[in-house]
């Protein structure tokens, strides 16, 4: 099979994946509505682990890491979408700048908890936010992560990213400071 033919087949598969992606996002929206009614959490670690195990069942060892990454990223995208639908109703989100501004988030990392800035920065990049500062520091024997993000916070997506960081941090968010550009 020639490269041109292979690419045509990939294009066809991508078209099918696009339709399935749109259907999945529609269903994710319905999940967000159900969670709005019941007060359920968007991120349920055990459920995601169960889904990853089911989706990777029977996948060859050679492709297992890629399969797990694919479904993991897809679930993260679905969560960001759900957070965007729920952000305005979530306590504390009203403090965010309504346009250009910056947000400082400080996360306490108690002993035994590791916080990776990767979740914060990947989600921020999706929303077009810029990381100005990412720093680990110790204070009083406790470790902290400080993240400063700037950009346009008027979109539901940028607000969803902040909500995701606050909800999915494995440690304790101790401070969220917001400032508008004109301050």
- The pLDDT, as a whole number, for residue 112 is 57
- pTM for the full predicted model: 0.78
d(CA 169, CA 101) in angstroms, rounded, equals 22
- The pLDDT, as a whole number, for residue 175 is 63
pLDDT in tens, 112-136: 555 566 766 777 888 899 988 888 8
Which among 178, 170, 174 is positioned nearest to 115, based on CA atoms?
Answer: 170
Residues of the chain with pLDDT under 50: 182-183
d(CA 154, CA 151) in angstroms, rounded, equals 9
- The pLDDT, as a whole number, for residue 183 is 46
- The pLDDT, as a whole number, for residue 88 is 79
- The pLDDT, as a whole number, for residue 173 is 62
pLDDT in tens, 92-109: 777 788 889 888 888 777
């Amino acid at each position: 099979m020639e490269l041109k033919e292979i690419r045509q087949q990939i294009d066809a598969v991508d078209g099918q994946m696009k339709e399935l992606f749109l259907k999945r996002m529609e269903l994710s929206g319905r999940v967000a509505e159900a969670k709005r009614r019941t007060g359920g959490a968007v991120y349920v670690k055990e459920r995601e682990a169960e889904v990853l195990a089911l989706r990777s069942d029977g996948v060859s060892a050679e492709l297992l890491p890629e399969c797990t990454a694919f479904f993991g990223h897809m679930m993260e995208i679905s969560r960001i979408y759900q957070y965007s639908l729920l952000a305005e109703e979530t306590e504390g989100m009203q403090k965010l700048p309504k346009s250009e501004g910056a947000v400082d988030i400080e996360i306490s990392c108690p002993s035994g908890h590791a916080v990776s800035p990767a979740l914060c920065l990947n989600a921020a990049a999706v929303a077009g936010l810029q990381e100005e500062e990412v720093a680990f520091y110790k204070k009083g024997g406790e470790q902290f992560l400080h993240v400063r993000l700037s950009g346009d916070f008027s979109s539901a997506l940028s607000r969803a990213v902040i909500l995701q960081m606050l909800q999915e941090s494995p440690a304790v968010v101790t401070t969220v400071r917001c400032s508008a550009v004109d301050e």
